Amino acid sequence: MKASVKKKIWVPILAVALLVTASSFKSDFFEIAKQIEIFTTLFKELNMNYVDETNPGELMDSAIKNMLDELDPYTRFLNEQDVEAYKINNSGEYSGIGALVRSYESKLVIVEPYKGYAADKAGLKAGDEIIKIGETKVADFDDNASELLKGANNTSVEVTFVRQGQTKTATITREGVEVDAVPFYDMIDAKTGYIVLSRFNEKASSQTKSAIQDLKGRGAERLVLDLRGNPGGLLSEAINVTNLFVPKGELIVTTKSKVKKFNQEYRTRNQPEDENIPLVVLVDGKSASASEIVSGGLQDLDRAVIIGARSFGKGLVQRPLKLTYGTQLKVTISRYYTPSGRCIQALDYWHRDAEGNAVRNTDFKEYTTKNGRKVWDGGGVMPDVAIKSLKTNTLIDALQDNDVVFDFATNYFYDHSFANVDDFVFSDADYNAFKKYVQEQNFTFQTKTEELLEQSINADDSLLGAEVQEKYKDLLLAVNRGKISALDSYKNEIKKLLEDEIITRYFYREGLYQYFLAHDDAILTAKELLADNSKYASILK
């Protein structure tokens, strides 16, 4: 049975399968029991009488996951493999090939091999397309084929991959992989330390603390904490990282839920590492969840200046609940609120538009920080100092979502060479080559304006008339021309994405962060601000 058929059958019928976990179980007991009985009898009859053989496990997995899609993207059913991946993500340790991999229907793409780990030692590069693992073709594997790359230490796996049109093979010896929460830290100048915190796993606060101590030992009198691209993680570690800079007993997060036991206040429990050192926190549109707890908390307490672009806007808290047979339900249990009382959740998953998409909050409420500064809820953490090159829009998002930037960087890597990161320059000629590449890929995306215009064009001809229809078509052509010219309008923003992607190909993450120290707009702005005590203080007051 095809997946699309499964979804069509199951989504309207199984909207009750996991309601047994709901807190309203007692009050809705009869309705829940009734729906469970309907579901049980339907599932039994379907598997017994359907014209072809069915796979009960696959049907159930598909049904549950499609049902949960009606809620929010963070409430997920975790099968045994998902549970293991969840544990690995939190611990930061696993055994495998040591690479970030993106899964497609017929291939796995190496997004980033980690320096010095198995995939890197075997010669795999970003952009390599794995089509076969051992004797298993990725296209024939029903589940996530990336699981086949994991395994016990010192076991080997042969992969067949395509690189620049040529098919190659490599044997990779799996090994233990440690994913650092702090992959890089260094001095920006003689008095300014820089720390990258890339995830909130179990190592986040301890590694950040060690970095602070080392940098202060090297002369750091002020700090830049980089949370850009950090998708979040453990709530407890967000509290602990914030605690490094604020006193014991400070309220950082309040969670509110319909379940009374999930209504909690989270305060700092330890003495801070340094509650006075001048601090800048960098955020962007991919800084989410725990990153927003840290940046929002430090902003509300007037403990740090936030620099960058508006953060992602995830104000929801999840908790894994154990189910039977080693499975779990990772369920959204509450909303969280920063010290000023704001919830920075940007998307409203409970009020959707006509296409079923979550509605973005636009009606922001005003709150005040400890010193009386104005801040707002509902749209992520807004920076105190905005960096233009970090802003995003429909075009930039589409270039990334469609792998246009990634694929161009892959081709660029094989056409250019650099001895070290200081030699790297992405010239205007290179950017013109990128614009040509975009047009050759027949890259398309739809803006909100186009969507509205097309709806108008498809309206009743007799009502609008042919002349009006033609005017709409002319507008659409103008919009398309505007999208091409937008590649020039947003050159700086797109160029930064290209530079970041390309530098990582040559010099890994470490080289990218080293490049940032001398070239990144946000870091240079933070460095200048921290060197100006009066300006820094005036922002916080």
pLDDT digits (tens, 9 = 90+) for 295-313: 999 999 999 999 999 999 9
Read off the pLDDT of residues 346-378 as tens digits, 9 standing for 90 and up: 999 988 887 788 888 888 999 999 999 999 998
Give catalytic residues, as residue numbers. Answer: 289, 300, 314
Name which residue leads in pLDDT, 539 or 452: 539
pLDDT band for 439, please (50, 70, 90 cuts): confident
- Ranges for all domains in the chain classified under CATH 3.90.226.10: 184-323+330-386
User: Which of 80-94, 211-225, 242-256, 523-537 shows the lowest per-residue confidence on average (mean pLDDT)?
Assistant: 80-94
Nearest one of 280, 302, 386, 300 to 343, comparing CA atoms:
300
* 213 pLDDT more than 80: yes
Check whether 153 has a pLDDT greater than 80: yes
Percent of the chain with pLDDT over 90: 71
Range with the poorest average pLDDT among 140-144, 156-160, 481-485: 481-485
Answer yes or no: are the C-beta atoms of 328 and 78 closer than 8 Å: yes
Residue 5's pLDDT is 42
Rounded distance between C-alpha atoms, residue 520 and residue 513, angstroms: 9
Q: Worst-scoring range by mean pLDDT, 146-150, 206-210, 393-397, 471-475? A: 471-475
CB 326, CB 352: distance < 8 Å: no
Q: How distant, in Å, are the alpha carbons of 85, 153, 160, 166, 171 from that of 157?
A: 19, 11, 10, 20, 6
Does the pLDDT at position 95 exceed 50?
yes
Compute the mean pLDDT over every residue in the chain, rounded to the nearest whole number.
89
Contact between residue 90 and residue 72 where contact means Cβ atoms under 8 Å apart: no
Fold assignment, 184-323+330-386:
2-enoyl-CoA Hydratase; Chain A, domain 1 (3.90.226)
Confidence at 386, pLDDT banded by 50, 70, 90 = very high
Confidence of residue 23 (pLDDT cuts 50, 70, 90): very low
Distance (Å, rounded) from C-alpha 332 to C-alpha 520? 36
Least confident of 26-35, 285-294, 490-499: 26-35
197 pLDDT exceeds 90? yes
Structure confidence at residue 16 (pLDDT): 41
- At residue 458 the predicted structure's pLDDT band, cuts being 50, 70 and 90, is low
Whole-angstrom distance, CA of residue 280 vs CA of residue 440: 41
> For residue 167, what are the contacts with CB-CB under 8 A and spacing of at least 6?
131, 160, 161
Identify whether the C-beta of residue 313 lies closer than 8 Å to the C-beta of residue 291.
no
Which pLDDT band holds residue 510 (cuts at 50, 70, 90)? very high
In the predicted model, is pLDDT for residue 521 greater than 70?
A: yes
Give 79's pLDDT tier (boundaries 50, 70, 90): confident
12 has pLDDT over 50:
no
- Identify the burial level of 409 via C-beta atoms within 10 angstroms of its C-beta, where 0-12 means exposed, 13-18 middle and 19 or more buried: buried
What pLDDT is stored for residue 127 in this prediction? 98
- Predicted pLDDT of residue 455: 65
> Which stretch, 212-216, 257-261, 468-472, has highest mean pLDDT?
212-216
pLDDT tops 70 at residue 419: yes
Question: What is the per-residue pLDDT for 451?
Answer: 65
CA atoms within 13 A on the CB side of 211: 27
pTM strictly above 0.95: no
User: Is pLDDT above 90 for 328?
Assistant: yes
At 3, the pLDDT band (50, 70, 90 cuts) reads very low
d(CA 103, CA 110): 9
What dihedral do alpha carbons 320, 323, 328, 330 form, nearest 10°? -40
Beta bridge partner(s), residue 306: 281
Interval 334-344: pLDDT, tens: 999 999 999 99
Round to whole Å and give the CA distance between 262 and 317: 10
Separation of alpha carbons 412 and 494, rounded Å = 15
Look at residues 168, 161, 147, 163 and name the one whose alpha carbon lies nearest to residue 97: 147
* Cβ–Cβ < 8 Å for 302, 538: no
Residue span(s) of the chain under CATH 2.30.42.10 come to 93-178
The β-bridge partners of 161 are 130, 168
Residue 86 has a pLDDT of: 83
How many Å is the maximal CA-CA distance in the chain? 77
Token pair, residue 401, equals: 């979502």
- Residue 266's H or E segment, with its range, is strand 264-267
Mean pLDDT score, 265-290: 97
CA distances from 470 to 453, 456, 457, 459 (A): 11, 11, 9, 13
Half-sphere exposure of 4 (CA within 13 A, CB side): 0
Residue 456's alpha-carbon distances to 95, 462, 467, 472, in angstroms, are: 54, 12, 13, 8
Length of the chain: 541
The domain covering 93-178 belongs, at the CATH homologous superfamily level, to PDZ domain (2.30.42.10)
Spell out the long-range contacts of 71-75 with Cβ–Cβ below 8 A and sequence spacing 24 or more: 71/332, 71/349, 72/316, 72/332, 72/349, 72/358, 73/349, 74/314, 74/316, 74/318, 74/330, 74/332, 75/318, 75/329, 75/330, 75/331, 75/332
The pLDDT, as a whole number, for residue 452 is 63
Query: Burial, 324: exposed, middle or buried (Cβ in 10 Å; 0-12, 13-18, 19+)?
Result: exposed
Q: Are 227 and 282 in contact (CB under 8 A)?
A: yes
Question: Has residue 61 got a pLDDT over 90?
Answer: no
